[in-house]
Structure 1
Amino acid sequence: MIDLVTDAFAGRFGRVEPRRAAAQFVTGLLTDLEIKTCWQLAEQAGHGRPDAMQRLLYRAKWDADAVRDDVRQVVADRLGDPDGVLVVDETGDLKKGTHTVGVQRQYTGTAGRIENAQVGVFLAYASRHGHTLIDRRVYLPKSWTGDRQRCQQAGVPDDITFATRSELADHMITAAVDALVPARWVAADEAYGNNTGLRARLRALRLGYVLAVSRDHLVPIGAGKTRCRADQLAADLPATGWTRRSAGDGSKGPRFYDWAWLADVGADGDPDDDGRHSLLIRRNNSTGELAFYRCWTPGPVTLAQLVRVAGIRWTVEESFQAGKGQVGLDQHQVRRWTSWHRFTTLALAALAILALCTATSRTPEHHGQDDMIELTVNEIRRLINVLLIRPTHSIAYSLRWSTWRRRHQARAKRAHYARRLNLELQP
């Protein structure tokens, strides 16, 4: 499966050296290295120095978006299903300083508060066969797009202007549709569900959606302009308005919630809109906590279908967990625009390998075995390390790398000390 994915984008490299380095980079991301930076990946690949890996991210000529397209196509070919779901979400990486592309003090769900962070918006694909991330965009706040000198220093192309996170989601979904990724649905959390423009765009693409919205979200009622808060609509429901259904299987069994479905509410007023609008409400049967979803489909739909899509949204969280825990998605120690997109694209390729291996391993004969669970992404990566990736290098090789690292760090230390002293001596 490693060769299947890396061969899919091999033709994007004009020279053999970066082509080989890219395949080794992806393989290195699948290893059990604790830290997955250019230094560690170069050592794992058997290089004497990190130059080839660093050149791959910084100076080599190749198009990260084209490689992304190839990875997305492999995923669509192997996991594709007409009832597939595109899931949008974002994740933040905490950063120090101000020079890393996109970094500023902003809210990130990773930390649960405002921190100095870089935020990436991602698109995942989920079907009955499996799920993985298939696209990415780095979010540039106005503090960046309004400072062209800062953008130039980080290598941001001149034609990149400010785009909201919902607009970045729109771009990725549209690209997936244009690439004929088989999908019928879109799911996202309330940061995207509250956006009127994104909902309109999805209707134009004829994609059904189950988008979370906030409890104070104003839902249009009837043919007029009357709007009512989502939580008020829930409070007015009778006890008979709720039904218990599973939103899918979790690690501890089916995830049962109480659901209420208000059909024919929530129309945004598009003159050409001929679809079915509704509001879906989920209630935790233990805590009573409520969640709300604006829904639209181009044709008739059942409650079971909407509940399934609402439950699938959590697969993107699993993909983030696997991406960061298994292939180092958050370990990019790069500052520039191009380098971020290149590292992240190769991490998506590594994650796709795990997703495809997991899907392939779930054959009908294994599905019914009660004495063991199906192979997970974590277990697949362990097996890849044991069965496919080259064993640990010799002691002499490891010592040579230790010597190189300490000499490089000594040079960096001297440079930092000299810079600090020069600053102190300036009048």
Structure 2
Amino acid sequence: MSDLPRKNGWTIAEHAGDTTPDPTQRLLNHAVRDNDQAMTLVRGFVVEHLADQPLVVAALDEAGQEKTGDATVGVQRQYIGCVGRIANGVNTAYCCYATPRGHALVGARIYVLADQMADPDRRTACGIDAEVGFRTKPQLAMDICRDMVAYHTMPPWVAGDEAYVRSGALRSFLEDNRIGYVMRVGCAFHVTVRPGGGSARAEDVLTRHVATDAWQVRSVTGSKGERAYAWAWIATTNPRHFLLIHQHLRTGKLAYHYCHVPEGRPVTLMTLVRVACLRWPVEEGFEFGKDHFGLDHSQVRLYTALSRHIVLTLAALAVCAVTAAQARTQTPAPILPTTPDQQPPDDPGLIALTVAEVKRLFMLVTHRVLPQAHHLHWIWWRRRHQARARWFHHRARIRRQITQT
């Protein structure tokens, strides 16, 4: 929770007042603790405080950490999303418990390549236990979901990108457990929309079967306000599966989603739209975890140590995310413009407490950071400044909408 620029064994030990990093390293490498059970406790804490929302989604995605050497478990040249290219690093599959009020990362599994798993010397060097076998990224995501089902913490919906929808095993697991999903797919994804007509690419389905008047504009509240897109949904030959398409109103850019609705569960277009849009909080979870809690700061090499570092980070993130979500319910409605020529108010109010500000308040209280009045002033100033920026952002959007129409 500290504001250390880097959070690894050495820096945390110094910040904690230890004379050597041995206690911190022991916590990660040798202390007797059940890492899976720790993750279960973190997940239970988040679910306890956020499960009362009208819509809850398990958002699946992966995040990477760049590494310079080759000794860390799972490291090799592979696509690392945070840098947007192939680089030397480690990837981890995550699950975010996402609701309209708040969200937190509640599951993580490290991806270790098959050739490293098959090499006994490599396994020993990386501290990988014998019961840990090779799992693809969709299989790791399925393992996380299986744990959530076993502990009755699984949301009724799952969202993810193309890497996960391609897995028939993952889709079957979700369908067998009556879990609906809205998964992003590419334009080349095949679906069958007419009996006996054969499968067709998603982009061809759009061209042949979506009339001009089939589009419906729907708006969903995002981190920067309302986001409106044109949406269309097409039934397939399977009555529980749909192809959902959204189009950017200004650029015309298209995106496709493959959807499953469990039998007996009523669904509307707006429900699928909201599920699709709750895939993005997992990206915010990565941002918060890395920027404020050191999710990608570890300098450990062993499988157990990296897993434990991740769980401790997710625990800290969960505390702040849940607190921010609870504080949001007590925050007055934002002051926003209603006309394009409206002048800004003298007092724009304050934005709701963010995860970052909750972390700073935690440090003020627990570490008695002095002078407290100075730090509280800055927390207040940032929230007021962001509220003013939000006001101007909304006014600019109103002007842009009028210009476009």
Query: What TM-score range do you get, normalising by the shorter chain?
Result: 0.7 to 0.9
Deviation at 1:195, TM superposition (A): 2.1
Report Cα offsets for 1:167-202 as digits up to 9, x if no partner. 111110111111111511000011112222211111
User: Counterpart in 1 of 2:392?
Assistant: none
User: Counterpart in 1 of 2:357?
Assistant: 379
**Corresponding residue to 1:283 among 247, 259, 276:** 247
How far apart, CA to CA, are the structure 2 residues paired with 1:391 and 1:248? 36
Report Cα offsets for 1:345-390 as digits up to 9, x if no partner. 0000000011111012123453456612111112212222223324
**Corresponding residue to 2:180 among 204, 208, 211:** 208
CA contact (8 A) 2:233 2:269 kept: yes
CA contact (8 A) 1:190 1:213 kept: yes
User: Counterpart in 1 of 2:47?
Assistant: 76
**Corresponding residue to 1:333 among 299, 322, 333:** 299
CA contact (8 A) 2:103 2:281 kept: yes
Indicate the SS of the match to 2:332. helix
User: Counterpart in 2 of 1:313?
Assistant: 279
CA contact (8 A) 1:83 1:182 kept: no
CA contact (8 A) 2:93 2:111 kept: yes
Indicate the SS of the match to 1:222. coil
How many percent identity over aligned positions?
40
How far apart, CA to CA, are the structure 1 residues paired with 2:82 and 2:237? 31
> 1:113 and 2:77 equivalent?
no
User: Counterpart in 2 of 1:10?
Assistant: none
Counterparts of 1:340-359 in structure 2 under 5 Å?
A: 340-359=306-325
CA contact (8 A) 2:42 2:106 kept: yes
Residue type at the aligned position of 2:298:
H
> 1:150 and 2:101 equivalent?
no
User: Counterpart in 1 of 2:261?
Assistant: 297
Deviation at 1:146, TM superposition (A): 2.0
**Corresponding residue to 1:234 among 189, 195, 206:** 206
Indicate the SS of the match to 2:40. helix
CA contact (8 A) 2:165 2:184 kept: yes
* TM-score of the aligned structures, taking structure 1 as reference length: 0.80
Counterparts of 1:396-411 in structure 2 under 5 Å?
A: none
Residue type at the aligned position of 1:73:
G
Deviation at 1:114, TM superposition (A): 1.2
Indicate the SS of the match to 2:182. strand
Change (3 A) 1:341 1:283: same
Residue type at the aligned position of 1:361:
A
What root-mean-square deviation, in Å, do the aligned CA atoms of Structure 1 and Structure 2 show?
Answer: 1.7
Counterparts of 1:146-185 in structure 2 under 5 Å?
A: 146-181=118-153, 183-185=155-157
Deviation at 1:225, TM superposition (A): 6.8
How far apart, CA to CA, are the structure 2 residues paired with 1:381 and 1:365? 18
* Greater shift in the superposed pair: 374-383 or 52-61: 374-383
CA contact (8 A) 2:182 2:257 kept: yes
* TM-score of the aligned structures, taking structure 2 as reference length: 0.84
Change (3 A) 1:199 1:371: same
Unaligned runs of 5+ in 2: 336-347, 371-405
Counting matched residue pairs gives 354
Residue type at the aligned position of 2:55:
D
